[in-house]
């Protein structure tokens, strides 16, 4: 069951997906949340510029690898507006999200 705090993160993902769509991109958004519930990073799809790796699920992996300890990454949660593609799922596994 999804609790209210998780719904707030998922709603933010949908807002980010809407921003992407309004910018002419594919409608996807993601939010990285720390163990204490703090939003650490967020992004929306940016593949329209030509870089097909600019998925919003990939950005939290890059961000967390540069800024969080392995323990912090393991305790964090990525919320997203859609199912991860294999590239993003692999990136999360490689950095330990």
Kindly report the CATH number assigned to the domain that includes residue 71. Answer: 3.40.140.10
Place of tokens 């990454």: 73
* Bridge-based pairing state of the strands 77-80 and 29-33: antiparallel
Q: Tell me the C-alpha distance between 32 and 59, whole Å.
A: 9
Compute the mean pLDDT over every residue in the chain, rounded to the nearest whole number: 94
If one counts the domains in the chain, the total is 1
- Which structural domain, as residue segments, surrounds residue 57? 4-95
Tens of pLDDT, residues 56-69: 999 899 999 999 99
- pLDDT of 5 over the 90 cut: no
């Amino acid at each position: 069951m999804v609790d209210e705090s998780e719904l707030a993160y998922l709603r933010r993902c949908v807002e980010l997906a809407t921003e992407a769509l309004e910018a002419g991109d594919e409608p996807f958004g993601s939010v990285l949340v720390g163990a204490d519930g703090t939003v650490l990073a967020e992004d929306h799809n940016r593949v329209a510029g030509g870089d097909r790796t600019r998925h919003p699920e990939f950005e939290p992996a890059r961000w967390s690898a540069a800024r969080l300890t392995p323990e912090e990454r393991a305790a964090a949660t990525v919320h997203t507006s859609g199912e991860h593609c294999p590239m993003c799922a692999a990136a999360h596994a490689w950095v330990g999200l």
